[in-house]
């Protein structure tokens, strides 16, 4: 039975994570001795490109009712496509969309499900095994899934998507799209910067900033870098910053290429959401701050001195 991957789109464009997911699906299919198909829902263009990342088939259900995400409707549609395509393993991203589909799909398909995996599965003695981080990323657990059908959600930035094939023709599929039980009246999208879960560059700050009136330092640096801003939880709790910027165990979990932490102590609950970042830079005046243990680069210094100098240097470098 083949592997079916949901390639997420936003405003008709493929998210960066879609290519990673398809490549993960391809590698999973190879481990299972089968092939990988990608599924695109709603309005989207350029789906042929998914073939480059390893999809041998691309299915498109283009019904515009699917432009608006509804987990019940998506579950019904994906389950039908899985049946038509003969797919036994479904892979979704560990995004807010994917998280809300995983359990529903598992129930609908009577499948074993593993959320937040970050490694390509192996089939060992006929048993499907897949790894995921546990205890806030401090350890890994390997799950064995013995059911025929499986549903996995993949953590973002788990692997680098690679081109392994060429574009494939997109096959239009017609399935029954049920009417949603909930009607969305209005969607307000955040203007400007890349949303945190998708951001490659993140500038984040904590209580060391002393107050919201100093956030222009963070904004200026982020602006120069084209980065997204984030914060520690007490900062959001104190209303210095909006809650959607709060990263950590109880906030958004991110995996950017670069995470700059300014005036953040590095409590375990904060690290839980950021310690999978590729490169971590810490700016803190306390050389004993726990964050330095998780840092790739550290600057011991007063942020009110270091951050404006860093911003100036980037400005000069770009000029
Ligand atoms: P502080 O711990 O007060 O650290 C401020 C840092 O700034 C210090 O290291 C200090 O040396 C430095 N500093 C001060 N002045 C300067 C200066 N001028 N220049 C340079 N450095 C300076 N926290 C999260 O962030 N995310 C979560 O999701 C989260 N979830 C939690 C869940 C639970 C159940 C609990 C109990 C806690 C949670 N917390 C979370 C809170 C967490 O334990 C810490 O309290 C919090 O992360 C600390 O935030 P902070 O680093 O901004 O502040």
SS3 content of the chain, % helix, strand, coil (to 5): 35, 25, 40
* Ligand 1 pocket check for 241: Cβ under 6 Å: no
Q: pLDDT digits over 121-179, tens only? A: 999 999 999 999 887 677 899 999 999 999 999 988 788 899 999 999 999 999 999 99
Please, is 317 exposed, middle or buried when counting C-beta atoms within 10 Å of its C-beta (0-12, 13-18, 19+)? exposed
Q: What ipTM goes with this model?
A: 0.99
Which pLDDT value is given to residue 318? Answer: 87
* Ligand 1 pocket check for 286: Cβ under 6 Å: yes
Query: Within the chain, which residues score under 50 in pLDDT?
Result: none
243 C-alpha to center of ligand 1: Å?
Answer: 15
* Ligand 1 pocket check for 267: Cβ under 6 Å: yes
- Nearest ligand 1 atom to the CA of 251 is 28
* Ligand 1 pocket check for 207: Cβ under 6 Å: yes
The per-residue DSSP string of 130-188 comes to: EEEEETTTTEEEEEEE-SSSEEEEEPTTSS-----S---PEEE-----PPPSS------
d(CA 10, CA 243): 23
Tell me: is residue 207 an annotated ligand-binding position: yes
Cβ atoms of residues 21 and 5 within 8 Å? yes
Q: pLDDT digits over 31-53, tens only? A: 999 999 999 999 999 999 999 99
**Phi/psi at 283 (nearest 5 deg)?**
-120, 115
Cβ atoms of residues 229 and 221 within 8 Å? no
* Ligand 1 pocket check for 203: Cβ under 6 Å: no
Which pLDDT value is given to residue 136? Answer: 67
* Ligand 1 pocket check for 284: Cβ under 6 Å: yes
d(CA 51, CA 129): 26
177 C-alpha to center of ligand 1: Å?
Answer: 46
Which pLDDT value is given to residue 160? Answer: 84
Tell me: is residue 263 an annotated ligand-binding position: yes
């Amino acid at each position: 039975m083949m592997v079916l991957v949901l390639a997420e789109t936003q405003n008709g464009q493929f998210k960066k994570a879609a290519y990673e997911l398809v490549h993960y699906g391809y590698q999973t299919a190879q481990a299972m001795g089968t092939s990988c198909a990608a599924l695109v829902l709603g309005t989207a263009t350029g789906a042929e490109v998914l073939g480059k990342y390893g999809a041998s088939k691309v299915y498109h259900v283009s019904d515009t009712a699917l432009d608006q995400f509804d987990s019940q409707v998506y579950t019904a549609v994906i389950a039908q496509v899985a049946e038509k395509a003969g797919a036994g393993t479904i892979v979704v991203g560990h995004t807010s969309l994917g998280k809300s589909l995983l359990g529903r799909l598992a129930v609908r398909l009577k499948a074993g499900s593993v959320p937040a995996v970050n490694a390509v599965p192996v089939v060992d003695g006929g048993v499907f095994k897949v790894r995921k981080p546990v205890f806030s990323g401090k350890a890994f657990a390997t799950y064995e899934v013995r059911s025929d059908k499986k549903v996995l959600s993949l953590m973002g930035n788990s692997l680098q998507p690679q081109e392994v094939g060429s574009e494939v023709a997109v096959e239009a599929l017609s399935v029954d799209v049920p009417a949603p039980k909930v009607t969305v009246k209005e969607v307000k999208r955040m203007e400007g910067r890349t949303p945190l879960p998708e951001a490659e560059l993140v500038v984040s700050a904590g209580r060391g900033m002393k107050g919201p009136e100093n956030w222009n330092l963070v904004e200026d640096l982020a602006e120069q870098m084209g980065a997204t801003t984030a914060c520690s939880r007490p900062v959001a709790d104190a209303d210095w910053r909006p809650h959607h910027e709060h990263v950590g165990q109880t906030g958004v979990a991110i995996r950017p290429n670069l995470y700059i932490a300014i005036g953040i102590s590095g409590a375990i609950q904060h690290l839980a959401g950021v310690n999978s970042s590729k490169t971590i830079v810490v700016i803190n005046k306390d050389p004993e701050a726990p964050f330095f243990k998780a840092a790739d680069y550290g600057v011991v210094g007063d942020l009110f001195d270091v951050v404006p100098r860093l911003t100036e240097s980037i400005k000069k470098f770009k000029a």
